[in-house]
Structure 1
């Protein structure tokens, strides 16, 4: 069973989380629909699964943002880790997999790798955002 399980983290979802947590006002609430659709088309998941999961994630992050507007890096990492911890098994359930103890043990490395990858993704996003803002200042 381990040879058929994915080890690669859901990079699209992690980048989506990173942008949403680093720049909360940059993406509107409805952006989970088109980005989730794009992910569904290229991930092989049933169409609509990422649309639903990304939209639910956007709503949950919006609720967290209104409750805790003064977040820091550790809280963002915890939030992203918790979202990843819920997203991967939820994506498996939506795709039709029957969760068992063995299956949950097999996806633990993918979950751990995804959570540990978030700080690196957040750093790349911060640099890209700084570049975006510096270009906007030069043009405007």
Structure 2
């Protein structure tokens, strides 16, 4: 039987449905190590966290609440933060997004941007305080503010990128 293109009603590839979201977050978490950038303070946004939050905002029902545990552990291995920092904070973010999902029935673009930016700011600030417990909190947070601002401004771009990944994930053959 020689057919051209996908048949009507044919489901998308199960491997692609499951692998694309997880692989995209894992690659985004490891990507900053591959870039040749040397800096005294954090300048690159946490790409894995941004993609994780955008997947959660776009497809809340796709992942269980505990998905922050393995993906956060993967991010901890590449970020240099103490093991368990991203595990706890990403799980907290997942719980927060599921809570907001139950409270706000009709979310728009600006809601998702505000939720994503707020969670990125909170997670980065808490991660910086956890990573440097002996340092002055005001000084540590002042070092992280440019990274937080850049991350908050990049949330719409990552929402768009996540949408493109989702279209690829759901495409038939």
| TM-score (structure 2 length as normaliser) | 0.73
Offset of 1:69 from its aligned partner? Answer: 2.4
Aligned residue number for residue 141 of structure 2: 104
Question: 2 CA distance for matches of 1:96 and 1:106?
Answer: 12
Misfit runs of 4+, over 4 Å:
none
**Max Rg structure:** 2
Aligned residue number for residue 90 of structure 2: 54
Structure 2 gap segments, 5+ residues each: 1-38
Instruction: Tell me, yes or no, if structure 1 residue 15 matches structure 2 residue 51.
Output: yes
Structure 1 gap segments, 5+ residues each: none
Instruction: Tell me, yes or no, if structure 1 residue 92 matches structure 2 residue 140.
Output: no
Number of aligned residue pairs: give it: 134
Indicate the structure with greater helix content: 1
The correspondence of residues 111-122 of structure 1 with structure 2, limited to 5 A, is 111-122=148-159
100-109 or 54-63: bigger deviation = 100-109
Question: 1 CA distance for matches of 2:98 and 2:136?
Answer: 29
Question: 2 CA distance for matches of 1:75 and 1:64?
Answer: 10
Aligned residue number for residue 30 of structure 1: 66
Preserved contact between residue 129 and residue 137 of structure 2 (Cα < 8 Å): no
Offset of 1:128 from its aligned partner? Answer: 1.1
50-59 or 104-113: bigger deviation = 104-113
Aligned residue number for residue 168 of structure 2: 131
Preserved contact between residue 76 and residue 82 of structure 2 (Cα < 8 Å): yes
Question: 2 CA distance for matches of 1:96 and 1:43?
Answer: 14
| TM-score (structure 1 length as normaliser) | 0.90
Q: CA RMSD in A?
A: 1.3
